[in-house]
């Protein structure tokens, strides 16, 4: 329970006024709870979509669901998406890319990536019918957090130190197995989502290879970007089927 609370505090802005003494092992081992935290986030998305739908219809519901995720996570993964696009696609050497990704200023690539991500999410969610959209939204954050586990397991850390070092290179096969089984159990609530365990795995491996070709590994920012991009792939998957 301690590790779950730590992960909930780390990945969300849900007010949990519990002070816990933690160390790096609590974070590294707590990665198995990422899918469960995703389920909690999914419950918020469904709730806000329902409220928006009752207030103004499908489009408002789609906007409220996306905005809710931004606020619940504090934009944690969106920040990683922006930093990743600013750095990776600057066409600079590795060390310069890593410097750009640490820069708090928002570049053109970051602004375009974040805006495009939000607009695409709204458009895709808006394309789903009610009540089918609820099963999709509920499990979407579960799979995107599983993608972080994939990324952390199958990569090395590109920096000498940093937040991503808590998970990258520290995630083992046991962590991965627990996270996958947990996701599979949750996915039973919407059986059409089950194939995404494999799709998300393949996408994550491709993404890790792509990023590693630029900076010889992954960082916390690129894991955040993987989370956001995995949600787009997930929504596209449902839009296709």
Is pLDDT at 163 greater than 90 in this prediction?
Answer: no
pLDDT in tens, 141-162: 999 999 999 999 999 998 877 7
> Is 73 within a domain?
yes
Tally of domains in the chain: 1
Q: Which domain holds residue 235?
A: 23-240
Q: Which pairs from 207-211 meet CB under 8 Å and 24+ separation?
A: 207/151, 208/150, 208/151, 208/154, 208/155, 211/84, 211/88, 211/155
- pLDDT value at position 213? 92
Q: What angle do CA 110, 116, 121 make, to 5 degrees?
A: 130
> Is 4 within a domain?
no
> Is 17 within a domain?
no
pLDDT in tens, 14-60: 888 777 777 777 788 899 999 999 999 999 999 999 999 999 999 99
> Mean pLDDT over residues 88-102, rounded?
87
> Is 31 within a domain?
yes
> Is 131 within a domain?
yes
pLDDT in tens, 115-149: 999 999 999 999 999 999 999 999 999 999 999 99
Chain mean pLDDT for the chain: 93
> Is 7 within a domain?
no
Q: Which residues, 6 or more positions from 102, have their beta carbon under 8 angstroms from its beta carbon? A: 83
> Is 108 within a domain?
yes
> Is 13 within a domain?
no
Is pLDDT at 1 greater than 90 in this prediction?
Answer: no
């Amino acid at each position: 329970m301690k590790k779950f609370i730590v992960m909930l505090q780390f990945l969300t802005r849900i007010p949990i006024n519990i002070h816990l003494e933690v160390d790096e092992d609590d974070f590294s081992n707590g990665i198995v709870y990422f899918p469960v935290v995703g389920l909690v986030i999914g419950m918020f998305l469904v709730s806000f979509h329902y409220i928006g739908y009752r207030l103004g219809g499908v489009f408002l519901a789609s906007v409220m669901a996306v905005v809710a995720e931004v606020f619940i996570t504090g934009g944690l993964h969106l920040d990683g998406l922006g930093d990743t696009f600013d750095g990776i696609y600057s066409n600079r050497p590795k060390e310069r890319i890593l410097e750009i990704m640490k820069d708090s200023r928002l570049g053109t690539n970051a602004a375009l990536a974040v805006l495009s991500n939000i607009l695409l999410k709204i458009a895709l969610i808006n394309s789903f019918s009610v009540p089918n959209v609820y099963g999709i939204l509920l499990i979407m954050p579960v799979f995107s957090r599983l993608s972080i586990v994939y990324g952390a397991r199958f990569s090395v850390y590109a920096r000498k130190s940093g937040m991503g070092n808590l998970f990258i290179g520290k995630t083992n096969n046991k962590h991965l197995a627990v996270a996958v089984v947990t996701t599979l159990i949750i996915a039973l609530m919407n059986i059409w989502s089950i194939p995404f365990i494999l799709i998300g795995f393949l996408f994550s491996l491709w993404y890790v290879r792509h990023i590693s070709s630029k900076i010889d590994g992954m960082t916390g920012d690129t894991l955040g970007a993987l989370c956001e991009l995995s949600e787009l792939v997930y929504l596209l998957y449902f839009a296709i089927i």
